């Protein structure tokens, strides 16, 4: 059992599965420990979060991160709460971070070709992360580890959803955190562009840039200087809007396929084309982005006499598991919305008598809060759009219903197209 306060001592057992060996690092958002998985015997990194009182938010975030699958993104294995603390279990990155490489250069940058290779690989990771509606918020050399297969992006301890317009002020590392993130808590893809540009500056020159610095950067190619200055623009609107654009400006070509597995899934259903099912996945992803949610799904009513709901499209946490699941008529919150044709926001679905907890448990994802809207075509219910768990930890409320209905209308439009 973990102690309530203080450091975790070597030999401390967590979750009945992990044994702490020693501390790796410590920061404002928590400490990272080297641990061993008792079952597999493999080494792991365990992050203890200091703000674990916000358990629902951390649980939602950890589920989202655990679903990420990309060779340049650290793998998340597990998450759990214990004795008032909250823990995320990650792969133990094999290699040294880029900050350690820079220290060996004693204030000088890396060779330009090597530095740009690292920036390009970091851009691959961030492109994938942004596609999954996540902002890293702490891009810097110490969070980029050189492994046997190239760079790996680590430490998602301050990551936030793409749709979150303002968060905690003062989060991030001076010299690398974007001005708007540090001063106002605002985090967008251009915020991570700033972190990557500042990292490129450090890799090429030996140190991060000064805020608002507009002079040509001495000692590097003019093209690289221009790209970095644009990426480090004080106003996020003046930066490249994606990491791919910034990488291209530096001359770092990203591969045609980033190598990650999308968090969306689609499945054919009677009367629904494969193209329509994939469009519904895009709607689910859009819904998750609009609400800053962990997941969203679309279920359609079968044309059989039972009129059961079948999940045909999903994005986010649990997407793989929910696809193909069927709900009997009137079962669960989605079944109730399909029966009544009335949109609903459920602040605490776990305490709602309509909630089909057994169905949720069978997918491995039991949400805290939901907003649901029927898919209405010519006055007839065709299915249900469900959005699960806001990643800021707040519940869904009635003011969310209008947006849910608009997204449901978009799903219906997808069904009506050939």
The catalytic residues are 138
Distance CA 215, CA 339 (A): 64
Distance CA 80, CA 82 (A): 7
Query: Coil, strand, or helix at residue 192?
Result: helix
Query: Coil, strand, or helix at residue 384?
Result: strand
Question: How many CA atoms lie less than 13 Å away from 243 in the CB half-sphere?
Answer: 30
Q: Please list, in sequence order, all residues whose beta carbon lies within 8 angstroms of the beta carbon of residue 139, skipping any fewer than 6 positions away.
A: 122, 126, 153, 176, 192, 195, 196, 198, 199
For 66, 332, 359, 378, the CA distances from 326, given in Å and listed in that order, are 25, 11, 9, 24
For 277, 310, 323, the CA distances from 306, given in Å and listed in that order, are 22, 11, 19
From the list 82, 8, 70, the residue with the least C-alpha distance to 45 is: 8
Per-residue burial over 213-252, b = 16 or more CB atoms within 10 Å of its CB, e = otherwise: eeeebeebeeebbebbbbbbbeebeebbebbbbbbbbbeb
Cα-flanking dihedrals φ and ψ of residue 96, to 5°?
-105, 150
The angle subtended at Cα 327 by Cα 277 and Cα 304, nearest 5°, is 75
For 180, 183, 291, the CA distances from 168, given in Å and listed in that order, are 11, 9, 18
Distance CA 295, CA 370 (A): 10
Distance CA 135, CA 43 (A): 27
Distance CA 228, CA 247 (A): 10
Q: Please list, in sequence order, all residues whose beta carbon lies within 8 angstroms of the beta carbon of residue 6, skipping any fewer than 6 positions away.
A: none
Judge whether 76 and 89 are in contact, CB under 8 Å: yes
């Amino acid at each position: 059992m973990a102690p309530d306060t203080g450091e975790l001592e070597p030999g401390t057992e967590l979750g009945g599965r992990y044994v702490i060996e020693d501390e790796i690092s410590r920061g404002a958002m928590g400490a990272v420990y080297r641990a061993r998985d008792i079952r597999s015997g493999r080494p792991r990194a365990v992050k203890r979060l200091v703000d674990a009182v916000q358990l629902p938010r951390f649980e939602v975030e950890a589920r989202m991160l655990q679903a990420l699958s990309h060779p340049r993104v650290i793998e998340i294995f597990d998450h759990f709460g214990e004795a008032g603390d909250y823990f995320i279990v990650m792969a133990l990155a094999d290699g040294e971070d880029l900050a350690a490489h820079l220290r060996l250069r004693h204030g000088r940058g890396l060779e330009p070709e090597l530095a740009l290779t690292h920036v390009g690989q970091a851009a691959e990771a961030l492109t994938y992360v942004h596609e999954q509606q996540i902002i890293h918020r702490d891009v810097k050399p110490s969070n980029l580890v050189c492994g046997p297969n190239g760079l790996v992006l680590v430490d998602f301890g301050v990551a936030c959803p793409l749709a979150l317009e303002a968060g905690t002020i003062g989060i991030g590392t001076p010299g690398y955190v974007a001005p708007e993130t540090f001063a106002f808590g605002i985090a967008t893809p251009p915020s991570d562009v700033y972190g990557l540009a500042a990292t490129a500056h450090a890799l090429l020159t030996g140190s991060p840039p000064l805020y608002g610095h507009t002079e040509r950067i001495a000692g590097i190619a003019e093209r690289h200087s221009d790209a970095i200055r644009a990426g480090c623009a004080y106003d996020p609107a003046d930066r490249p809007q994606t990491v791919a654009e910034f990488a291209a400006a530096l001359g770092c070509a990203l591969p045609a396929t980033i190598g990650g597995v999308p968090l969306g899934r689609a499945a054919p259903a009677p009367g629904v084309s494969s193209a329509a099912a994939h469009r519904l996945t895009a709607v689910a992803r859009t819904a998750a982005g609009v609400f800053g949610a962990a997941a969203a799904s679309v279920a359609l009513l079968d044309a059989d006499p039972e009129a059961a709901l079948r999940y045909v499209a999903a994005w986010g946490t649990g997407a793989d598991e929910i696809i193909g699941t069927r709900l009997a008529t009137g079962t669960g919150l989605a079944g109730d919305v399909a029966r009544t044709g009335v949109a609903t926001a459920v602040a605490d679905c776990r305490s709602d008598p309509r909630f089909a907890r057994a169905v949720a448990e069978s997918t491995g994802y039991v949400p805290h809060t939901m907003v649901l809207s029927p898919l209405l075509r010519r006055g007839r219910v065709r299915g249900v759009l469900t959005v699960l768990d806001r990643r800021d930890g707040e519940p869904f409320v009635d003011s969310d219903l209008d947006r849910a209905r608009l997204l449901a209308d978009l799903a219906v439009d997808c069904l009506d197209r050939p």
